[in-house]
């Protein structure tokens, strides 16, 4: 039998996975990486993407995650995901409908609808990215803001307009205003 290690995936709603695994592939913010038995100690941030767990019975489980952190130490891996769902349980039609709905409902502070490719100038109310210009992109149906020159660093736009205890303020809109579009105004993303 192959060497295994303990792995767990935790979310604010509780654990999604706990058990022995052969490997875990994770979407790090600097690129995907694979953890195996006796992996060197590591702490990494996670980007939006897919986590693939290989179990001792040679089966695999995939999870869609919207960011978070992972730690591997002494053959114990803990993955803390902001949002996660087992890929096999995702209703693709429902996810597409939610993406369309989110695109229609997401508005800036001036009540202007936000679409993929729009550039937002975040203001002081943006919890994590105040005074930055972000490009709007959708990952797994989640509207995100990409920072310039950091293509895989994303932030859920709903979190960018959350208050300091994480409550989304939809009637307030995203904490920023549209200043252009990446296709028409790429110079606005120059850091």
Contact criterion met (CB below 8 Å) for 147 and 47: no
pLDDT digits (tens, 9 = 90+) for 145-166: 776 665 544 455 655 544 444 4
Q: What's the predicted TM-score (pTM) here?
A: 0.55
Name 35's Cβ contacts closer than 8 Å, sequence gap at least 6. Answer: 5, 23, 24, 25, 26, 42, 70, 72, 77
When pLDDT is cut at 50, 70 and 90, the band that residue 131 belongs to is low
pLDDT digits (tens, 9 = 90+) for 26-66: 988 888 999 999 999 999 998 888 999 999 999 999 998 88
CA-closest candidate to residue 14, choices 70, 81, 60: 81
For the chain, percent of residues with pLDDT exceeding 90: 31
Q: What is the pLDDT of residue 177?
A: 76
Domains recognised in the chain with CATH numbers: 5-88 (2.60.15.10), 96-182 (2.30.30)
- Sign of torsion, CA 42 11 49 147? negative
Contact criterion met (CB below 8 Å) for 70 and 43: yes
Tokens coding 179: 């200043």
Pairing of strands 14-21, 118-122: unpaired
Ramachandran angles phi, psi of 160, nearest 5°: -65, -20
């Amino acid at each position: 039998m192959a060497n295994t290690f303990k792995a767990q995936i935790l979310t604010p709603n509780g654990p999604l996975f706990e058990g022995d695994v052969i490997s875990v592939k994770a979407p790090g913010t600097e690129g995907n990486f694979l953890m195996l038995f006796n992996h060197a100690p590591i702490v990494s941030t996670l980007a939006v993407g897919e986590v693939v767990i290989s179990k001792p019975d040679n089966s695999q489980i995939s999870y869609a995650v919207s960011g978070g952190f992972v730690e591997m130490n002494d053959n114990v891996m803990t993955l803390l995901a902001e949002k996660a769902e087992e890929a096999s349980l995702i209703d693709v039609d429902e996810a597409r409908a939610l993406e369309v709905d989110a695109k229609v409902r997401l508005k800036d502070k001036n009540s202007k609808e936000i679409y993929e490719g729009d550039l937002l100038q975040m203001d002081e109310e943006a919890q994590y990215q105040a005074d930055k210009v972000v490009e709007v992109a959708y990952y797994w149906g989640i509207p995100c803001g990409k920072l310039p020159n950091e293509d895989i660093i994303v932030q859920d736009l709903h979190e960018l307009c959350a208050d300091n205890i994480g409550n989304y303020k939809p009637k307030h809109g995203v904490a920023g205003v549209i200043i252009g579009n990446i296709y028409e105004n790429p110079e606005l993303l120059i850091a």
